[in-house]
Structure 1
Amino acid sequence: MSFTTGDERWADVYLLSITRAVSVCGDFLAATTLALVLQQAGHGGLAVSGLMVAASLPLALVAPLGGRIADRADSRVVLVAAGVFQGLICLALAFVHHPVAIIGLVALLACGLAVTQPTIAALVPQMVRPENLARASGLNQTAGVIGMLIAPALAGFLVGQTGPRLPLLLDAATYLALVVAGFAIRTRRTPPAAAEAAANVRYRVWDDRTLTVMVVALAAVVAGVSAVNVVDVFFIRDTLAASTTVFGLVAAAWPVGMLIGSIAFGRVPRHRITVPAALVVVAGSCAPLIGSAVVGNALWLIPLWIVGGAFNGGINVFVMVIVAGRAPAAAHGRAFAMVSAAIQGAALIGLLAAGPLVEQFDPRWLLAAAGGLGLLAALAAMPLVRRAKATEVEVDSPKTRRGAPVAA
């Protein structure tokens, strides 16, 4: 692996975190607005589900290409070009009305995210020393959750007061944050002189058995949690007969927990962030889902969802630190992209499976099953990780270290 070996660049960390908050807020602002647009136009559930698939599928399919771009292209060029491209896509979204056009443009927008996400993720380890990566990652994740929390309420207010065009134009403007960040952040990855070295590093996540086991367990949990996003609508509104206000409070509880977890787990010492510890955190995110099966009032879901969200925030921090520590620096973009592809693919499977399942089974037991299967996946991965660690060769050795980042 490789981290900065000189002075840390916390100004870059804060700037990147602010950029993430603005960008994520814009993404969720657009997603909420477009879902409302399709629903209000009477296009039905098929169009809304198509929108969700369009926003998710490219992140899984295009991520490997995005990872290679992140490792071989100048990060400044990637961020600026992607910011301009995505801004133009959002600008077009503000003026189209046909559902096919909307879904197609959203898919293009997601293709841009498949490139910028690994680029941004690979920049963070270059900004700080290894012992401070958890803190830097926590800041970055916290910023993203703040953007996620603000966007739905902002979208609902703006669509109700002004119609859908203004929030979509605001989303287009948020992508200017990527352009600004591309020019303002001093840390840069793989300038032209280093592109050949990055191209010569052959790396696949699946060659690292320990990391593979963690990713598979995590994917199983993500599939379950994604299904919960569909199931809990019926559980809260129908099974528990809760009001729309209570549903909104419960829906906000998980991101609030993620915010708490990103801050709390960002303070965990680097030496305690291991793959077995990550599996424990993964298991912790599943336990509240099992507990939800016994509640009789939807308000009890709020503390459960906060706990689950807190562990979810911890997962994000741990994955950042572990992947950065186990992959060579020249392959960080590909490593983060491959992990992201597995997680996004699992999330899509969970979303697609939830619809038919909720028609056949009691939502209460679907939530419990999602949590139970995730918990079993995390526990089953423990002995596999120990077995893999007994035979592995550490990536973090003097022979695999790379140089310090290049400042502008």
Structure 2
Amino acid sequence: MSSKSTGGSKSSARLPSAFNRLAWSNLAAQSAEQVGMAAAPLVAVLALGVGAGKTGMLQTAQTLPFLLLSIPAGLLADRMPRRRLMACAEALRALSLLGILACAGLGWLTWPLLAVLGFVGACGTVAYTVSAPALVPTLVPPECLAAANGRIELARTVAFAGGPALAGALVGWTGATPAFGLAAALSICAVFLLARLREPARPARPPRHPLADLREGARFVFGHSLLLPIFLTQLIFNTAFFVLHAAYVPYAVHRLGFSASGVGATLATYGVGMIVGALLAARVTRMLALGTVIALGPIAGFAAAIVMVLTLWVPSILLAGLSFFLMGAGPVIWVISTATLRQTVTPSDLMGRASAINIMAYGSRPIGSAIGAVIGGLYGAETCLIVAAVGFLAQALVIVTSPVLHLHRQPEMVGRPSPAPSPS
């Protein structure tokens, strides 16, 4: 991410109104996801009485669609209007949240039902998440691309900062119903914001077999000297993070003695760290070479894992909060810089599939959650923290030994059609 494209307010001022609608929809959708995902394990532990094993299985259900559906969603994003796909996907998530809300209100909520409805909602999350990065370059001119990515990521950081704390407070004070009601309302708002977004028309693509499209996208990403190590780093990072995340709530409640509000507060420092990282991203990029900026995220992730391991000997809410803060601050700079790099080097007609393959790295979340569930069930949540730290070390080594580390600035952008004029 070059300093020219990230730091200037002029670029930000030129962001068109169509993109602004997408950004607000993204904020609502991300907030709905974070409130729902934070509330689910708290409800499972505090109201349904489940332990580390079942909490990990719940998170596996909530993240499995990233593994199963990223590629199909990417194929759809390159074949149909992305705005329509995102609206339908977010509506599906809203329905799943309303289902959880109804079951909680009627006293019918069980752990298996919570997992099934969480899986359904995550199916919508995948399609929305895959389509949004592919839609951004069609709404903004190339010189505003980095500013647009920064805006999208800042919205996500606000959701990460507020969602877990709000969910923890609502569950702790009033029970599950208000938390899932808020998440459903935010999801519905995201759908309505998308309804008025005008997406530029794309050239018609000749009909092709989906496998041919898939091979084309995979060949591009996995054959690219920059995109491949980025994918591998994200894959390992997400696996390690969800090993830790699967065990954290029962570990924090039973070993560290945190209340629901305390758990929510420590999780919220992840979002606070993301906000700090997003606000500092432009300044950091001006000071450092691009490869160094990208490497900051994986290195910060490893440092965060070490701090969390220290809570085994020093059970402090401050250390737990610092760990999540570092986990947010460094990696958000990674997300902003690598998103712009990916959009810069990827042709427009491959954006959906390239985005899907990138999002497929999130498919390691259920793998991490499953590993956390097994290890947590057999050996305890404490062992999960150590295993996660080993994973964070591995992902840092991948990126610091790759060609990405030697980048000084963004490569030249590949050709793509100009975005349509901004609607009034």
Structure 1 CA distance for aligned equivalents of residues 384 and 322 of structure 2: 19
Q: Does 1:258 align with 2:265?
A: no
The DSSP-based 3-state class of the residue aligned with 2:36 is helix
2:34/2:164 contact within 8 Å kept: yes
Preserved contact between residue 41 and residue 58 of structure 2 (Cα < 8 Å): yes
1:404 aligns with 2:411: no
Q: 1:67·1:336 contact (CA, 8 Å) conserved in 2?
A: yes
* Number of equivalent positions: 394
User: In the alignment, does 2:16 pair up with 1:30?
Assistant: no
- 219-228 or 245-254, which deviates more: 245-254
Please give the alpha-carbon distance, in whole angstroms, between the structure 2 residues aligned to 1:130 and 1:156.
Answer: 40
Q: Which SS does the other structure have where 2:102 is aligned?
A: coil
Q: Does 1:348 align with 2:354?
A: no
Query: Alpha-carbon deviation of 1:131?
Result: 4.4
User: Counterparts of 1:162 and 1:222 in 2: how far apart (Å)?
Assistant: 32
TM-superposed deviation, 1:405: 2.4
> Cα–Cα, structure 1 residues 352 and 315, in superposed 2: closer, same or farther, change >3 Å?
same
- CA–CA distance in 2 between the matches of 1:368 and 1:279? 22
Q: Is 2:135 the counterpart of 1:135?
A: no
- Quote the residue 1:56 is aligned against: 63
Structure 1 residue corresponding to 2:27, chosen from 13, 21, 37: 21
User: Which residue among 11, 20, 36 is the counterpart of 2:17?
Assistant: 11
Q: Identify the residue that residue 72 of structure 2 maps to in structure 1.
A: 65
Q: Which residue of 2 aligns with 1:283?
A: 299
Residues 1:8 and 1:68: Cα distance change in structure 2 (over 3 Å) = farther
Q: Which residue of 2 aligns with 1:335?
A: 354
1:75: how far off? 2.2
Q: Shift in Å at residue 327 of structure 1?
A: 1.4
**Distance in 1 between residues matched to 2:287 and 2:131, nearest whole Å:** 25
Residue in 1 aligned with 2:243? 227
Q: Does the aligned pair in 2 maintain the 1:135–1:267 contact within 8 Å?
A: no
Separation (CA, whole Å) in 2 of partners of 1:262 and 1:251 = 18
Paired with 2:138 and 2:69, the residues of 1 have a C-alpha distance of 24
Q: How high is the sequence identity, in percent, across the aligned residues?
A: 21
Which letter does structure 2 place at the counterpart of 1:327?
A: T
Cα separation, partners in 2 of 1:286 and 1:324, compared to 1, 3 Å: same
The answer as to whether partners of 1:132 and 1:270 remain within 8 angstroms in 2 is no
Deviation of 1:174 after TM superposition, in Å, equals: 2.1
Residues 177-204 of structure 1 show CA distances to partners (whole Å, capped at 9, x for unaligned) of 3332323334x25x36444499997322
Residues 112, 384 of structure 1: alpha-carbon distance in 2 compared, 3 angstrom cutoff: same
Q: CA distance change for structure 1 residues 370 and 135 in 2, over 3 Å: closer, same or farther? A: same
Amino acid at match of 2:122: A
Q: Which amino acid counterpart does residue 180 of structure 2 have in structure 1?
A: L
Find the aligned partners of 1:26 and 1:34 in 2 and give their Cα distance: 12
CA contact (8 A) 1:134 1:265 kept: no
Contact conserved, 2:291 with 2:406, CA < 8 A, in 1? Answer: no
How far apart are residue 260 of structure 1 and its match?
Answer: 0.9
Q: 1:368 to 1:22 in 2, by over 3 A?
A: same
Q: Could you tell me how far apart the structure 1 residues matched to 2:113 and 2:315 are?
A: 42
Distance 1:95 1:20, change over 3 A: same
- The answer to whether residue 212 in structure 2 is matched with residue 212 in structure 1 is no
Could you report, residue by residue, the CA deviation over 1:74-112 in whole angstroms, capped at 9, with x for unpaired residues? 123223333333333333333233544443332222111
After superposition, give the CA deviation of every residue in 1:255-292 in whole Å (9 maximum; x if it has no partner).
21111112221555599774564234322321232345
Cα separation, partners in 2 of 1:148 and 1:303, compared to 1, 3 Å: closer
Q: CA separation of 1:280/1:50 partners in 2, compared to 1, >3 Å: closer, same or farther?
A: closer
**CA 1:287–1:372 in 2, change beyond 3 Å: closer, same or farther?**
farther
Structure 1 residue 307 and structure 2 residue 326: aligned?
A: yes
Q: What is the SS of the residue equivalent to 1:53?
A: helix
Are the equivalent residues in 2 in contact too, given 1:17–1:144 (CA < 8 A)? no
In the alignment, what sits opposite 2:393? 375
CA distance in 2, matches of 1:90, 1:359: 28
The correspondence for 1:80, drawn from 81, 87, 104, is 87
Provide the rounded CA distance (Å) in 2 between the counterparts of 1:90 and 1:297: 34
Q: Deviations over 1:329-373 (max 9, x none)?
A: 12212111111112x222222222224435676977764663454
> Higher mean Cα deviation, 252-261 or 27-36?
27-36
CA spacing shift, 1:92–1:369, aligned 2, 3 Å: closer
How far does the alpha carbon of each residue in 1:289-330 deviate from its partner, in whole angstroms, 9 at most, with x for none? 234545635224444542332102112212211211221112
Shift of 1:235: 6.3
C-alpha contact (below 8 Å) 1:85/1:112 kept by paired residues: yes
What is the SS of the residue equivalent to 2:416?
Answer: coil
C-alpha distance in structure 1 between counterparts of 2:262 and 2:78, whole Å: 45
**What SS does structure 2 have at the residue aligned with 1:73?**
coil
TM-aligned CA distance change 1:353 to 1:86, over 3 Å: closer
Secondary structure at 1:175's aligned position in 2?
helix
Contact 1:218 1:378 survives alignment (8 Å): no
Deviates more, 1:118-127 or 1:363-372: 363-372
RMSD of the TM alignment (CA)? 3.8
Partner Cα distance (1:223, 1:101) in 2 = 25
Structure 1: any 5+ residue segments left out of the alignment?
A: none
